[in-house]
Amino acid sequence: MRILRNYFIKEFIAPLFLALGVLTFVMILGNLIKIAEMVINKGVDIYSVSKLFIFMIPYLLTYTLPIAALTAVLLSLGRLSSDNEIIAIKASGINIFRLIVPLLIVGTMLSLLLVVFNDRVIPYAHFASRRTLMEVGVKNPTAALEPGVFINSFEKYVLFVYRIEDNKLYNVRIYEPHEGKPTRTIVAKRGEFIAIPEKSMIKLKLIDGTADEPDPENLTNFYKLNFKTYFISLNLAKAQKSDNIDKKPKDMTIKELLAEAKSLKQKDIDPTPLITEIHAKVSMAFSCLTFILLGSSLAIITRRREKSINFGFTFMIVGIYYILFITAETLSVRGLINPAIGMWLPNIILGALGIILTFRLCVS
């Protein structure tokens, strides 16, 4: 019996590491284009890009490890089943569930590892990545900008740029909102960033445009000023300090999320999004166990050793899981369903299906 258990685990481990390596590499390749663009087109230094690349890998493992576990169990048990080894084991009077248990234990260990990973490593990587982007923005502002979207990274100002080429901006709109007063607007045909890293400051040079200037007699009114050249100073010294960068929910550990939720609740603010994030971290980690439970029974029942078929099952199961996960997350954030229930629904549904199939497999 011990030999069979070790055999099952050995058959599972090799495809697990192979699938994990391949999936992570493929996802990294998808981001290499953006990284190469930052180096080649936007002139970001290799050191900053390397840091962003390293901080990206832990986030990818959150997704690739569960998918790799599912792929490995489908490939390994699918081969054993198609070669009639499972039938031979059952014919010898051994309950197949006793051989699946070691895989479920491995799945539980991987899930617990991901819980710690999602709670400690991922928030740190997210936060460090944002801090690095802030540093990149000081040295090379256009590298941190994206055309066609509102950019609120700068204190006091909201930017919208239609086109960015190298360090040149085209069709620039700048909004300076004031509470209780009209929003000041500056429009320019062209613009250019002048970085001053030693002072943690950026100067934005605007060319050919109009600016709303406050009326000295009535500060709530503006008059239009046409300009050929206009400068705006963006001081990032305060924002660049890590202590002053506000943490987003994905940058927080579970302990920090609980503390923030408690603080919001005391202010009569609904902390549901933070509670949802807590359950999302843990629930996604336990997708490893769910995938192994469902995948092991499915692989034995279907008895297919073809890699293409097993990859097809992987894509189908993963697709269903993440559709359910995203739907549950949306409903939970909006308060339409309790996060403690909603974020666990994908695991409950697919896990229940895995239990049913495993039961049928063991009694047949």
Q: What is the DSSP string of 170-220?
A: EEEEEEEEETTEEEEEEEEEEEEEEEEGGGTEEEEEEEEEEEEEEETTEEE
> Is residue 330 in a domain?
yes
| Same-domain check for residues 209 and 266 | no
Distance CA 71, CA 91 (A): 27
Boundary-marking domain end, from 204, 235, 266: 235
pLDDT of residue 284: 94
Q: How many CA atoms lie within 13 A of 192 on its CB side?
A: 8
Both tokens assigned to 151: 């950019």
| Same-domain check for residues 166 and 265 | no
pLDDT of residue 270: 82
> Is residue 151 in a domain?
no
SS3 282: helix
Please give the biggest Cα pair distance in the chain.
96
> Is residue 146 in a domain?
no
From the list 295, 291, 251, 301, the residue with the least C-alpha distance to 129 is 251
pLDDT of residue 242: 45
CA-only gyration radius of the chain, Å: 27
CA distances 154 to 66, 169, 174, 236, 243, Å, are 38, 16, 11, 8, 17
| Same-domain check for residues 263 and 197 | no
| Same-domain check for residues 278 and 215 | no
DSSP code of residue 122: H
Distance CA 176, CA 195 (A): 21
Q: Which domain holds residue 213?
A: 156-235
| Same-domain check for residues 115 and 20 | yes
From the list 113, 123, 93, 82, the residue with the least C-alpha distance to 1 is 93
| Domains contained in the chain, number | 2
pLDDT of residue 71: 93
pLDDT of residue 127: 83
> Is residue 202 in a domain?
yes
> Is residue 242 in a domain?
no
Q: Mean pLDDT for each 10-residue chunk of the chain (364 residues)?
A: 76 90 86 69 68 83 93 87 74 77 92 93 84 63 64 72 79 79 82 69 83 70 82 62 62 89 82 91 95 90 70 90 94 89 95 90 72
From the list 328, 349, 350, 351, the residue with the least C-alpha distance to 340 is 328
> Is residue 143 in a domain?
no
pLDDT of residue 180: 66
| Same-domain check for residues 313 and 186 | no
pLDDT of residue 238: 47
> Is residue 37 in a domain?
yes
* Consecutive H or E run containing 9: helix 2-40
Burial class (CB in 10 A: 0-12, 13-18, 19+), 97: middle
* Consecutive H or E run containing 19: helix 2-40
Q: What are the φ/ψ torsions at residue 128 (nearest 5 degrees)?
A: -65, -35
> Is residue 246 in a domain?
no
| Same-domain check for residues 270 and 195 | no
pLDDT of residue 278: 93
| Same-domain check for residues 102 and 64 | yes
| Same-domain check for residues 228 and 261 | no
Boundary-marking domain end, from 235, 260, 292: 235
| Same-domain check for residues 129 and 260 | yes
| Same-domain check for residues 284 and 347 | yes
Angle at 118 between CA 23 and CA 105, to 5 degrees: 75
Boundary-marking domain end, from 175, 209, 235: 235
| Same-domain check for residues 270 and 301 | yes
